Amino acid sequence: MPGRLMPRPALQAGFTLVELMVTVTLLSILAALAMPSMSAWIRNTQVRAAGDALQNGLRVAQAEALRRSRQTVFSLTDNAAPLSGLTAKENGKYWAINTVQISGESTDVAAFVEGGVLGNPGSDVTISGPASICFSSLGRLVANASPGVTGADCKTDTPTAYDISLAGADRNLRVTVAIGGQVRMCDPAKTMSSSTPDGC
């Protein structure tokens, strides 16, 4: 029939194989460029998480010493269940707080207060510093050669410092505890000044 229009074929929407291959190639290149910085960011995050956990644990130990008006011992350990007993160990993946038995009081016993994890136990974050430190009832560092935790020997170095590091991380951290009990996290690669308040 003359004058009757033939229907047009429907247009197919989508990508051609060439467009899809170009997109995948560009995404692969971008991912390869971002991978090193993403790996460093993950390592820096692991260091920061361990530093925060360590700093918070130390502050809890000091606060418990003040609240209970008695000496507490903060220990690093590899024991995941420190309530049932622990051995203080440098570079431990966990932390624990115990009260110290009052000397001359046979009825008083040391008690477990609290424990925590220093980041991911499977990570390679290294924490170098003393296996244990003690806080007096005034929240200050105090020396105690036998605070009641196996392997613990509290000394009063000035200041006590824990260095937190991980291979491949851009930024390592340090947590310091002053004789007066002040707990602070800083960057050991910087010197503290008005322009770099996060330095050590």
The pLDDT tens digits for 127-170 are 989 999 999 999 999 998 888 888 888 888 766 899 999 887 88
State CA 137 to chain mean position distance. Answer: 26
- Least confident range from 31-35, 133-137, 145-149, 188-192: namely 31-35
What letter represents residue 157's amino acid?
Answer: D
Residue-level pLDDT at 40: 80
**Cβ 186 vs Cβ 198: under 8 Å:** yes
- Ordered by start, the domain boundaries in the chain are 37-186
99-114 mean pLDDT: 74
**Cβ 71 vs Cβ 61: under 8 Å:** no
Residue-level pLDDT at 27: 83
Query: Parallel, antiparallel, or unpaired: how do β-strands 160-165 and 173-177 relate?
Result: antiparallel
Which architecture, in CATH terms, is 37-186? Answer: 3-Layer(bab) Sandwich (3.55)
pTM reported for the whole predicted model = 0.77
Start-to-end CA span in the chain (Å)? 92
